[in-house]
Every structure is written in structure tokens, then in C-alpha cells.
Chain A
Amino acid sequence: MKSILRGGNRVLISKSTNVYTNLALERYLAENIKHQPKTRLLLLWRNQPCVVVGRYQNPFAESDIKYLSEKQIDLARRYSGGGTCYHDLGNLNVTIVTTREDYNRKKNLHWIVNTLNEAFNLTLHVTDRDDIFLDTFKVTGSASRLERLYAYHHFTLLINSYLNDLRRSLKSEDQMKITSKATSSVRSSVLNLADRNNSITYEKTIALLIEKFFQWNNEKTTTSCDYIDPLLYYEHIKDFENELKSQKFLYQVTPPFVYTIEHEKQPIEISVSNGIITDIKGNDSIIDKKNFLGQLFHGVYHNIQKLNKT
């Protein structure tokens, strides 16, 4: 157990494809590893189809919640900020964990760009917003979290994801109905790396990154690379995992917002705070407030949808 928490330049690849498990593992490692200055930890992971929203986002504004539940696509909220992304097995997640002082997002991204361009003959570039673009298409979204003793920067890499599913999942009709101060995603057209160079596969990419990672950090060998089965550490990560799965964290942590619907041609404004409907503004005669006030918004969401436009 202890050896998993040692510091230094290391690569860990998660055997799990459960988004909650992986997010919990990421946080557990970031918080507990004895990070040494000037060294980096590289975490590589991928998930079964899921949508991951940023810490301060509104899942209703970012994705089609109904579609997600129909297709049994998981919805998760991560601990770092930023925007929403769609994960599936063709989308590689990369996390680089360092001490707080060594945090440098641009360095990480430039390393990736250089490595991939060189190996796969691509023309990737890093933008001002710390995204990686291939021409006009986005292939990477980044987010980071800076705590006192550590900081991590994670990003996705579209290798050969199902882009149709991606677009469908991230399409939200509620976007127009929601007014809030939550972080809203900046949408971009996306592209898979494999679309540009069809020899690129997930396996090749991780092998490349592992080798180059150790070179980047001036390590002579690649022996500090392990597969990690999060199940073995279940006891340690279960608190995080349970939190990530909880309705509370998924829905109630959303910053306060107002959801406007149209019922019998009149607007009705539903104020939600901490996931609970705190106020409804509108013509009192048309809507029976009792049914909704004090309820969890995501619990009565279905009913609200029914009211809308009827």
C-alpha cells in the first residue's frame, strides 16, 4: 500500500473504466502522494461513456439529462473547474500532478503537442485558453485544481471517440432556459486524432506518452510505470467515490439558477438554490406551487418538463 504513495516521476494507468472510481482515484492520489519538487505524476485513464461536468457548472445547461438516462450514460461532476466533456473509450484522460509550485499548465500542453506532432506527424497547437486544437478543431479540453500542497492539471485527448454520441449528449435544450452564474462551457467543433492519422490508436498513444514522459523528466528508465487497480484501494477512495456518485454532489452543488418555462403561454421562473426549488414566480392560478416548492429540482424535473409548453 505504501509504495503506491511514493513521490518522484511516475506513471500510473488505471485499470478501471468507471468515471466515479477514476475521479476518486485521481483525487486520492493527488492528496496523498508525497509529491517531490520538480517531479511529476502522470495518470492515464479512460471511462465508459459518460459526461463529466465542471465543479461549478449546471448539468442541465450542459447536457441532455434525459438522453443520458435513456442511454445509461453516466453523469459525473469533477472536482476541478472548467467545462463539460464527453468521455468514452476513445477518449484518453491525462492528469499531471505536481507540487503547487511546479504547476505549469502550458508546459504540460506543449509537451503533449510536441510529442504527438513528432510521433504522428500532426499539426497540433496550443491556444490561449489552454486547449489543443488541430487546425480549427478542438481535440483537448483542460482543467486544473490548485490546492495548498499539490496541483493537478488534467485534460482529455480525443483519439477515436464516437463524436455523434458526444454531440448528442452535450446538446442541451435547457441552455436557453437557465439563467445562472455557473460556469458555462465554451463549445467548439471537435475532431478525433485518428481522423487525421488513422494509425493512431489508444494503445499506441499511451505507450508513446509513457516513454516520452520519462524522457521529459530526465529519467533514464521507464520502470516507474504501473497499472493500478483502484479496487485494491477501495477502502481509501470509497469516500470520494460515494460523494461523486451522490445526488447531492451531482445536482445540489450547482450554483443557484433560475429555470424559466412557458406554461399556458406565460413565463414561469423557478428559482433553484442548492438543488432545491426555493421560489416560483408566475401566475399563481396556473401552477400549483405546493407540488414544487421545497422539492429537489432534479427530482421533479420530469414534471416540470411536462408543464413546459403545455
Chain B
Amino acid sequence: MMLARPVCLDTLLRCFVLPSSFFRNTFNRSSINQFFPIVSSSFSLGQPTFTIPISSNNVSTLYFSFRSFSISSSRSSPVVQFKLADIGEGIKEVEIIEWYVQVGDYVKQFDKICEVQSDKANVTIISRYGGTIVKLHQNISKTAKVGETLVDIKLEHDLDVLTGTKTATIMTDDTFDNTVYKDSLANILVTPAIRQMAKELQISLSDIQGTGKDGRILKEDIIRFKSVKSTPSKFSSGTPPPSPTAVKQTSRLRPTPIPTSSSLKKVSDHSLTKSKNDRNEPIQGTRKTIIQTMIETSSIPHFTYCDEYDMTQLEKIRKQLKNRLDNKQKQMYSYMPFIIKACSLALCDYPILNAHIDSKCETIAYKGSHNVGIVIHTKHGLFVPNIKNVQQLSIGQITYELNRLQELAQNAKLSTEDLTNGTFSLSNIGDIGGTYTVPVVLSPEVAIGALGKIFRQAVPDEDKQNSNESEEYCSSPVHSMMSVSWSADHRVIDGATMARFSNQLKFLLENPLHTLIN
């Protein structure tokens, strides 16, 4: 089962890297496969293995020639320690049986590093990184413990963030990664000169549709791609009410204002004058993780409960605070800290909403601390860091934390700590626009709320209902109403619980003094 938080971490790290180094990485991989088909096949799984003795006087020519072709980056690349990851079955240590690499060898991601044996199970350890082997830390026939370093690898670029963790994991979800990569790489036919050109222009070859023989990418294709790229064409996010809440979106989606009719017109005009080429984009990295999460989340039966909260009182308080504190502090008091605190108070009465459920649905883990996750949209992607122990924090402290997390998120500097162990989530879709939505629960949590925008609405005053019978003379006070959508895991949460929680929260927000008192 994939937890949402580690996915977020991947999202964080991959999004951080994608804009700057992604294209370069793609280029390098494809060039390697093109230039060294023979060598790369010798590292494939299908080939017979043979012992490579440690003794230095046995240097096979294969490795020697490989070394002379190595593409090591000239800028200083970090050396990463590749550790032995948990193999499973409670195995704590293994015997190193065979090395498949030597110092100085160039390895690609997924190449075999060594073979280990533990009580009759032989495991092939594969590389998580691409780079040059700098040092072998273990000896044949010696035992290595899980967590110990196997080899030092000097990375070919500083892309260690791309792979997330620094331990050697037997890739699981990345099998999908590999096949997609292979397909996209296998389709790229291009001469070295064109490859160089693409590199200089910072174009990813997988983005280009080749028009030459067998789909070969020609010089004209690159030139055409470049000119198409330079004209603004990213209006593709035009899906109506996006269900952005909670689960991640593509990094390219910026929080855009709701397109007005005039801007929509511009779109259509634009598309008439300029014909666009079809474009295939292999699904990689962030998007793949999102897809995976989405698939898994879809197996959770959701229900949604919506309501409207009267924020008028809260609005008044906010204005007061803002006027008072603007001089002293720079912090903007938004509604969120209030709402977060109120949620925590309400969760005290409905602790089942602050629980985790495991994938097999065998245990409900009631969590003591209210770690409220907040969905933050940034140019790097969508993150859900959480504020820890909200039940112990004052609204001021919550505000501080919120601002801290937001700043870190904007710079893609959120830590694992911030992104994990959330127990309850909130998404503010109101600042983009929109009222009701069906948010998706972030597994293993069981509930999530989406706060819509606050809109002014004439609300008939219930007290005066009887006294004022004349319809012409109906003056209803205008209140600020916020639409709220709650989704919960219907396997453990029933509608009544959610409804009562919502009512409790509603009370706390409509009567903010109660929230502030606590």
C-alpha cells in the first residue's frame, strides 16, 4: 500500500528536479543506450553471470573499453553511498557472493551491483543510481548487515534527489518506470549531431515527433519544435471544476483564476490562427506516482457531506485582529488557523475522524495528536504538509506554523517530517474559486475537508421571520457563507458522525469566541 505522504515526498523531490534537470537526464539516458548497446545488454538480466574476482590482475577487456567511454560529468558530482536495503523475510544480514562491478565501472540505474545470499535465497542487488563506482565496501564471502554501505557511486549528475532515498531498494513501483523509459527511448532515432543540437537547445528528444525515416528525428523537427515551444500554448488545463483537493496534480498546473468569457475567447482565437502538432508525452515521475495513488485511493469507498458555514462573525474578528496586528507583525491572519483550531476542537469529540486505517482494514488506529494536513499549491506541485499537535497549539502558533510550511512549500523545501504522519486534512479550494467538490481521502487517513470560497449571501434572518410578513419589504442581512465539502472513508465513518462533526465545527466557527476560549 502506498502512503500518501511518501508519495508527497517523491512529488516534492521530483518536482524540484524536473524543471531543471529532467530534460538533461532524458537526453543522457538515451545517448547512453544508443552509444553502448552492446555494453548495456551485457548488464541486462538475461545474460549469463560469471564470477568477477576481486584480484586486480584479471581485467577483462570489456570493462576496460567501457571505462574509456564513460560519460562522467566534468562538474563536481556528489558521491553517494549505496546501502544494502531491507530484503524482506526478516533478514538482517547477508553474505556477499559476487560482485558484478569493479571500481571505475560505469553503472546505469537498474544495473546489477552484486549478488548476496542469505540462507538459501540469492538476491541480485541492482543499482539505484547511474554513475561511476568509486569504492567497494564489502568483500566476497563476508557478511554485510542491512543498512551497511555496499558501494560508493559518483553520480553522473547531481540527481540524487530524483531517486528519493539513498538506500538500495529493489525497485517495486519503478518497474513501470523502466518499461515506459525503454519504450520512449527505443523510439528515438537520432544522429549524434542532432542529439547534440537538442542538448544545446535544452530540448527533450522524447517531446519531439520525428518525421524522418522510421520516425527519425531530423534537424527540421528540432527547429520546428523550438518555434512551436516559444509560442504560448499552455491552455490545456481547461477541465471544469478540477477536483484538486488532496491528491496531487501535475506540476504544470498553476492556480489560475477562473477563465472569464473574454479570456476564453482569446483561447479560441489563438487556436484558429496557429495549428499545433500532436505531442506524446511519456508518463514519468510525479505523474506516475499520482496515477498510482489515484488508482489505490479509488478502492476506498467515499461519501461526501456538504454544508455551508456562516463566517460572518469570524470575518469581523479577523478584521479586528488584522487592524491591530498589522503594525506589529507582518503575518496575515487568514481564516485557516481559526478553522484548523476549530477542527481540532471538534476532533476531540469525534476522534474516529482523526484515525488511520491500514490497507487490509483490520485496525483503526486512533491517533492521539491532531496533525492537520493543509493542501498547498505551488509551482513545484501540490504538497500536503501537516501541522503537528494542533490540539496543543494556540491560534497564533498555528498561524506561525502555517506560514512556515507555506514558505517551505513554495521553495520546495519541505522536510519528510512535515510531510508525514498527518491524521486529518484540509484543502482550501476557495482561494482558487469553487464551492463544492468531492475531495479524495488521503490514505491512511479517513477524512478530508474541502473549504470552498466565501461568498456573500442574503440569509433570511430566522428571528424576524414571523414578524415580517410583507415580501416586498424583506431586508435580509447579508452574511458571508463558506461552502464546505467533507469526504470520509465509508468503511469506518458513517454519515451521522461526519454530519455531527460538521455541525460541531459549524458551531465553533459561527461562534468564534468558543474557539478562542479553548
Instruction: Spell out A's residues near B (CB within 8 Å).
Output: 31, 54-56, 79-83, 100-101, 103-106, 129-130, 142-149, 181, 183, 239-240, 243, 248-249, 253, 255-256, 273-274
Residues of A within 8 Å of B478, CB to CB, are none
Flag if B45 contacts A100 (CB, 8 Å): no
Tell whether B468 is near chain A: CB-to-CB under 8 Å.
Answer: no
Cα distance A149–B124 when bound, in Å?
11
A254 to chain B, nearest CB (A): 9
Cα distance A143–B53 when bound, in Å?
24
Residues 13-52 of B, flagged 1 when their CB comes within 8 A of A and 0 if not, give: 0000000000000000000000000000000011010110
> What 10 A-B pairs are tightest by C-beta distance, nearest first?
A181-B141, A82-B120, A81-B122, A146-B123, A144-B121, A81-B117, A243-B48, A143-B120, A145-B122, A147-B124
Instruction: Spell out B's residues near A (CB within 8 Å).
Output: 45-46, 48, 50-51, 53, 55, 87-89, 97-98, 110, 117, 119-124, 126, 140-141, 170-172, 175
Select which of B46, B89, B97, B170 is within 8 A of A100 by beta carbon. B170
Residues of B within 8 Å of A56, CB to CB, are 97-98, 117, 122
Select which of A55, A106, A146, A248 is within 8 A of B170 by beta carbon. A146
Residues of B within 8 Å of A240, CB to CB, are 48
Flag if B48 contacts A148 (CB, 8 Å): no
Flag if A55 contacts B122 (CB, 8 Å): yes
Flag if A273 contacts B53 (CB, 8 Å): yes
Cα distance A239–B47 when bound, in Å?
9
| Residue of B120, B122, B140, B175 with most chain A CB atoms under a 10 A cut-off | B120
Please list 14 pairs of residues, one from A and one from B, whose beta carbons are closer than 8 Å in the complex, sorted by A's number: A54-B120, A56-B122, A80-B121, A80-B122, A81-B117, A82-B120, A143-B121, A144-B120, A145-B123, A146-B170, A148-B175, A181-B141, A239-B48, A253-B51
Residues of A within 8 Å of B45, CB to CB, are 31, 147-149
Flag if A274 contacts B53 (CB, 8 Å): yes
Flag if A103 contacts B88 (CB, 8 Å): yes
User: Given A101-B172, A103-B88, A181-B140, A146–B48 Cβ distance below 8 Å?
Assistant: no
8 more A-B residue pairs beyond the given contacts A148-B175, A274-B53, with a C-beta to C-beta distance below 8 A: A56-B117, A56-B122, A106-B89, A129-B119, A143-B121, A148-B126, A148-B171, A149-B175
B142, closest chain A residue (CB): A181
Select which of A81, A181, A248, A255 is within 8 A of B121 by beta carbon. A81
Flag if A249 contacts B48 (CB, 8 Å): yes
Residues of B within 8 Å of A104, CB to CB, are 89
A57 to chain B, nearest CB (A): 11
B47, closest chain A residue (CB): A239
Cα distance A83–B141 when bound, in Å?
16
Cα distance A129–B175 when bound, in Å?
31
Residues of A within 8 Å of B89, CB to CB, are 104-106
User: Given A31-B46, A148-B124, A148-B170, A130–B119 Cβ distance below 8 Å?
Assistant: yes
Cα distance A106–B55 when bound, in Å?
38
Flag if A146 contacts B124 (CB, 8 Å): yes
Select which of A101, A183, A248 is within 8 A of B117 by beta carbon. A183
Residues of B within 8 Å of A273, CB to CB, are 53, 55
Cα distance A249–B171 when bound, in Å?
29
B120, closest chain A residue (CB): A82
Flag if A142 contacts B48 (CB, 8 Å): no
A106, closest chain B residue (CB): B89
Flag if B122 contacts A146 (CB, 8 Å): yes
User: Given A56-B117, A148-B110, A249-B48, A81–B124 Cβ distance below 8 Å?
Assistant: no
Residues of A within 8 Å of B55, CB to CB, are 273
Cα distance A147–B47 when bound, in Å?
13
Cα distance A55–B50 when bound, in Å?
11
User: Given A31-B45, A81-B122, A148-B124, A100–B140 Cβ distance below 8 Å?
Assistant: no
A273, closest chain B residue (CB): B53
Cα distance A81–B172 when bound, in Å?
23
Cα distance A142–B343 when bound, in Å?
55
Residues of A within 8 Å of B123, CB to CB, are 145-146
